[in-house]
Protein backbone atom coordinates (compact mmCIF):
# COMPACT_ATOMS: atom_id res chain seq x y z
CA UNK A 1 0.00 0.00 0.00
CA UNK A 2 1.88 3.01 -1.31
CA UNK A 3 0.46 6.01 0.53
CA UNK A 4 2.71 8.57 -1.17
CA UNK A 5 3.27 8.37 -4.90
CA UNK A 6 5.55 10.18 -7.29
CA UNK A 7 4.49 8.94 -10.70
CA UNK A 8 7.26 10.58 -12.71
CA UNK A 9 10.58 8.84 -12.15
CA UNK A 10 12.43 11.50 -14.11
CA UNK A 11 12.07 15.03 -15.42
CA UNK A 12 14.29 17.03 -17.73
CA UNK A 13 14.09 20.85 -17.87
CA UNK A 14 16.14 23.56 -19.49
CA UNK A 15 18.05 26.00 -17.34
CA UNK A 16 15.98 29.07 -16.51
CA UNK A 17 12.65 27.36 -17.08
CA UNK A 18 10.18 26.12 -14.45
CA UNK A 19 10.47 22.63 -12.96
CA UNK A 20 7.25 21.11 -11.62
CA UNK A 21 7.46 17.95 -9.54
CA UNK A 22 4.26 16.20 -8.51
CA UNK A 23 3.21 14.03 -5.61
CA UNK A 24 -0.06 12.28 -4.70
CA UNK A 25 -1.10 10.82 -1.38
CA UNK A 26 -3.95 8.71 -0.11
CA UNK A 27 -4.00 9.20 3.67
CA UNK A 28 -6.07 12.23 4.68
CA UNK A 29 -4.57 12.09 8.20
CA UNK A 30 -1.18 13.40 7.03
CA UNK A 31 -0.66 16.82 8.63
CA UNK A 32 2.59 18.02 7.06
CA UNK A 33 4.19 17.53 3.69
CA UNK A 34 7.88 17.93 3.00
CA UNK A 35 10.19 17.90 0.02
CA UNK A 36 13.70 16.54 0.32
CA UNK A 37 16.51 16.81 -2.19
CA UNK A 38 19.15 14.12 -2.57
CA UNK A 39 22.49 14.21 -4.33
CA UNK A 40 24.37 10.96 -5.11
CA UNK A 41 26.23 9.47 -2.11
CA UNK A 42 24.60 11.95 0.27
CA UNK A 43 21.62 11.75 2.57
CA UNK A 44 18.40 13.62 1.73
CA UNK A 45 18.36 17.27 2.76
CA UNK A 46 15.23 19.17 3.71
CA UNK A 47 14.04 21.67 1.12
CA UNK A 48 10.60 23.02 1.98
CA UNK A 49 7.45 21.98 3.80
CA UNK A 50 3.78 22.87 4.02
CA UNK A 51 1.17 22.36 6.68
CA UNK A 52 -2.07 20.66 5.71
CA UNK A 53 -3.93 23.83 6.68
CA UNK A 54 -2.11 25.88 4.04
CA UNK A 55 -2.30 25.73 0.27
CA UNK A 56 0.97 27.43 -0.64
CA UNK A 57 4.39 27.98 0.85
CA UNK A 58 7.18 29.86 -0.85
CA UNK A 59 10.91 30.02 -0.12
CA UNK A 60 13.02 31.80 -2.68
CA UNK A 61 12.93 29.87 -5.95
CA UNK A 62 10.93 27.04 -4.39
CA UNK A 63 7.15 26.98 -3.96
CA UNK A 64 5.04 24.09 -2.77
CA UNK A 65 1.32 23.93 -3.55
CA UNK A 66 -1.12 21.69 -1.73
CA UNK A 67 -4.54 20.68 -3.07
CA UNK A 68 -6.16 18.78 -0.21
CA UNK A 69 -9.34 17.89 -2.08
CA UNK A 70 -7.27 16.21 -4.78
CA UNK A 71 -4.69 14.88 -2.28
CA UNK A 72 -2.01 16.33 -4.50
CA UNK A 73 1.02 18.51 -3.96
CA UNK A 74 3.57 19.97 -6.29
CA UNK A 75 6.98 21.59 -6.03
CA UNK A 76 7.77 24.46 -8.40
CA UNK A 77 11.34 25.56 -8.97
CA UNK A 78 11.73 28.87 -10.81
CA UNK A 79 14.13 29.51 -12.40
CA UNK A 80 15.71 26.07 -12.59
CA UNK A 81 19.49 25.91 -12.26
CA UNK A 82 21.97 23.13 -13.10
CA UNK A 83 22.71 22.73 -9.37
CA UNK A 84 19.08 21.73 -8.87
CA UNK A 85 19.77 18.44 -10.66
CA UNK A 86 19.09 15.80 -7.99
CA UNK A 87 16.48 13.30 -6.84
CA UNK A 88 13.51 14.95 -5.14
CA UNK A 89 11.48 13.03 -2.57
CA UNK A 90 8.04 13.99 -1.42
CA UNK A 91 7.29 12.96 2.18
CA UNK A 92 4.16 13.09 4.30
CA UNK A 93 4.06 13.23 8.09
CA UNK A 94 1.74 11.04 10.07
CA UNK A 95 1.43 10.33 13.80
CA UNK A 96 4.58 10.41 15.93
CA UNK A 97 6.47 12.45 13.35
CA UNK A 98 6.66 9.39 11.11
CA UNK A 99 7.51 10.26 7.51
CA UNK A 100 6.27 8.25 4.55
CA UNK A 101 8.32 8.88 1.43
CA UNK A 102 7.51 8.67 -2.25
CA UNK A 103 9.80 6.89 -4.68
CA UNK A 104 11.48 10.07 -5.89
CA UNK A 105 11.80 12.02 -9.13
CA UNK A 106 15.18 12.50 -10.79
CA UNK A 107 15.38 16.10 -12.00
CA UNK A 108 17.92 16.99 -14.65
CA UNK A 109 18.42 20.67 -15.48
CA UNK A 110 20.14 21.04 -18.81
CA UNK A 111 22.18 23.99 -20.01
CA UNK B 1 26.64 22.65 13.87
CA UNK B 2 27.86 19.15 13.05
CA UNK B 3 25.48 16.98 11.04
CA UNK B 4 24.43 13.37 11.51
CA UNK B 5 27.44 11.07 11.31
CA UNK B 6 27.31 7.50 10.07
CA UNK B 7 29.90 4.77 9.65
CA UNK B 8 30.96 2.87 7.74
CA UNK B 9 30.03 4.51 4.44
CA UNK B 10 30.25 1.28 2.50
CA UNK B 11 30.14 -2.38 3.47
CA UNK B 12 30.23 -5.55 1.41
CA UNK B 13 29.42 -8.85 3.12
CA UNK B 14 28.35 -12.33 2.12
CA UNK B 15 24.86 -13.61 2.87
CA UNK B 16 24.43 -15.11 6.33
CA UNK B 17 27.16 -12.86 7.74
CA UNK B 18 26.42 -10.17 10.29
CA UNK B 19 26.98 -6.42 10.02
CA UNK B 20 26.57 -3.37 12.24
CA UNK B 21 26.08 0.29 11.43
CA UNK B 22 26.73 3.24 13.73
CA UNK B 23 25.01 6.62 13.92
CA UNK B 24 25.76 9.76 15.91
CA UNK B 25 22.86 12.24 15.71
CA UNK B 26 22.98 16.01 15.88
CA UNK B 27 23.72 17.13 19.43
CA UNK B 28 20.56 17.67 21.43
CA UNK B 29 18.24 15.84 19.05
CA UNK B 30 16.06 13.52 21.09
CA UNK B 31 14.57 11.58 18.21
CA UNK B 32 16.59 9.20 16.05
CA UNK B 33 15.43 7.22 13.02
CA UNK B 34 16.85 4.39 10.94
CA UNK B 35 15.64 4.08 7.35
CA UNK B 36 16.26 1.50 4.65
CA UNK B 37 16.42 2.79 1.08
CA UNK B 38 16.40 0.12 -1.61
CA UNK B 39 17.53 1.21 -5.06
CA UNK B 40 14.73 3.00 -6.92
CA UNK B 41 12.58 3.43 -3.82
CA UNK B 42 12.10 6.06 -1.17
CA UNK B 43 13.46 5.68 2.36
CA UNK B 44 11.41 3.31 4.52
CA UNK B 45 11.37 3.76 8.28
CA UNK B 46 12.75 0.78 10.18
CA UNK B 47 12.80 2.10 13.74
CA UNK B 48 12.30 5.35 15.63
CA UNK B 49 13.78 6.17 19.04
CA UNK B 50 12.74 8.94 21.42
CA UNK B 51 15.78 9.36 23.69
CA UNK B 52 16.66 5.70 24.43
CA UNK B 53 13.14 4.31 24.09
CA UNK B 54 11.62 2.74 20.97
CA UNK B 55 8.64 4.69 19.59
CA UNK B 56 7.98 2.66 16.43
CA UNK B 57 9.62 -0.53 15.18
CA UNK B 58 6.64 -1.90 13.30
CA UNK B 59 8.59 -2.25 10.04
CA UNK B 60 11.77 -3.69 11.53
CA UNK B 61 12.32 -7.37 10.57
CA UNK B 62 12.95 -8.42 14.14
CA UNK B 63 14.07 -11.93 13.29
CA UNK B 64 17.29 -10.52 11.83
CA UNK B 65 17.45 -6.79 12.55
CA UNK B 66 18.11 -5.20 15.92
CA UNK B 67 18.83 -1.66 17.02
CA UNK B 68 19.73 0.07 20.23
CA UNK B 69 20.31 3.59 21.42
CA UNK B 70 22.13 3.40 24.71
CA UNK B 71 22.22 6.59 26.78
CA UNK B 72 19.91 8.28 24.28
CA UNK B 73 22.69 9.48 21.97
CA UNK B 74 24.53 7.14 19.55
CA UNK B 75 22.73 4.23 17.95
CA UNK B 76 23.70 0.97 16.27
CA UNK B 77 21.70 -1.08 13.79
CA UNK B 78 22.62 -4.73 13.35
CA UNK B 79 21.68 -7.34 10.78
CA UNK B 80 22.28 -10.99 11.62
CA UNK B 81 22.21 -13.00 9.40
CA UNK B 82 22.13 -10.85 6.26
CA UNK B 83 20.13 -11.79 3.18
CA UNK B 84 20.61 -10.70 -0.43
CA UNK B 85 17.48 -8.51 -0.19
CA UNK B 86 19.09 -6.48 2.61
CA UNK B 87 21.28 -4.77 0.01
CA UNK B 88 20.34 -1.11 0.39
CA UNK B 89 21.44 2.23 1.77
CA UNK B 90 20.80 2.54 5.50
CA UNK B 91 20.08 6.11 6.51
CA UNK B 92 20.10 7.54 9.99
CA UNK B 93 18.21 10.74 10.76
CA UNK B 94 17.57 12.85 13.84
CA UNK B 95 15.10 15.55 14.74
CA UNK B 96 13.99 18.00 17.36
CA UNK B 97 11.07 20.34 17.40
CA UNK B 98 11.36 23.40 15.14
CA UNK B 99 8.21 25.42 15.55
CA UNK B 100 5.37 23.16 14.50
CA UNK B 101 7.47 20.83 12.40
CA UNK B 102 9.90 18.12 13.27
CA UNK B 103 12.28 18.40 10.35
CA UNK B 104 14.48 15.35 10.04
CA UNK B 105 18.19 15.70 9.32
CA UNK B 106 19.78 12.81 7.49
CA UNK B 107 23.27 11.40 7.57
CA UNK B 108 25.12 10.33 4.39
CA UNK B 109 24.04 6.70 4.77
CA UNK B 110 25.80 3.34 4.70
CA UNK B 111 25.63 1.45 1.41
CA UNK B 112 25.38 -2.28 2.15
CA UNK B 113 25.97 -4.88 -0.55
CA UNK B 114 25.17 -8.49 0.32
CA UNK B 115 26.66 -11.05 -2.10
Record: contact B56-A93, CB cut-off 8 A: no
Q: Report whether B65 contacts B46 (CB < 8 A).
A: yes
Stretch B2-8: mean pLDDT: 94
pLDDT at A45 over 90: yes
pLDDT at A37 over 80: yes
Closest CA to B105 of B10, B46, B25: B25
pLDDT value, residue B100? 60
Residues forming beta bridges with residue B103, ordered by sequence position: none
pLDDT band for position A1 (cuts 50, 70, 90): low
pLDDT band for position A2 (cuts 50, 70, 90): confident
Record: contact A45-B106, CB cut-off 8 A: yes
pLDDT at A53 over 90: yes
pLDDT at B22 over 70: yes
Q: Report whether A92 contacts A32 (CB < 8 A).
A: yes
Record: contact B45-A41, CB cut-off 8 A: no
Give the A-side interface with B, CB within 8 Å.
Answer: 4, 6, 32, 34, 36, 41-46, 49, 51, 89, 91, 93, 96-104
pLDDT value, residue B72? 84
Residue-averaged pLDDT of chain A? 95
Report d(CA B15, CA B85) in Å as an integer. Answer: 9
Report d(CA A103, CA A36) in Å as an integer. Answer: 12
Stretch A46-62: mean pLDDT: 96
CA–CA–CA angle A56, A24, B60 (5° rounding): 115
pLDDT at A15 over 70: yes
- Any idea what DSSP says for residue A84? G
pLDDT at A58 over 70: yes
pLDDT value, residue B101? 65
pLDDT value, residue B96? 86
Q: Which of B55, B56, B109 lies nearest to residue A43, judging by beta carbons?
A: B109
A81: distance to nearest CA of chain B, Å? 23
- B100 contacts in chain A (CB < 8 Å): 32, 51
Question: CA-CA distances (angstroms) from residue A103 to A38, B12, B37, B40?
Answer: 12, 25, 10, 7
Closest CA to A98 of B36, B47, B70, B6: B47
Better pLDDT: B52 or B7: B7
The dihedrals phi and psi of B90, each to the nearest 5 degrees, come to: -105, 115
The predicted-structure confidence for B47-105, as pLDDT tens digits, reads as follows: 999 988 999 999 999 999 999 998 889 999 999 999 999 999 999 999 987 666 678 99
The predicted-structure confidence for A71-98, as pLDDT tens digits, reads as follows: 999 999 999 999 999 999 999 998 878 8
- In our burial notation (b when 16+ CB lie closer than 10 A, e otherwise), range B40-74 reads eebbbbbbbbeeeeeebbeebeeeebbbebeeebe
Q: Mutation test of the interface with chain A: which of B29, B31, B42, choosing the one with the most A Cβ atoms within 10 A?
A: B42
First-to-last C-alpha distance (Å) of chain B: 37
Beta strands in B29-103 (DSSP E): 31-37, 44-50, 53-56, 65-68, 75-79, 88-95
Amino acid sequence: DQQVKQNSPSLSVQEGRISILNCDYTNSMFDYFLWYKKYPAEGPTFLISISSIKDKNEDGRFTVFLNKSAKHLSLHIVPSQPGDSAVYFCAARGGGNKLTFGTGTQLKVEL
Amino acid sequence: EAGVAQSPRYKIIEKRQSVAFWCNPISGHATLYWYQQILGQGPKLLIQFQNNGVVDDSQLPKDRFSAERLKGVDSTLKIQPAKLEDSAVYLCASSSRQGNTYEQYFGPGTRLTVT
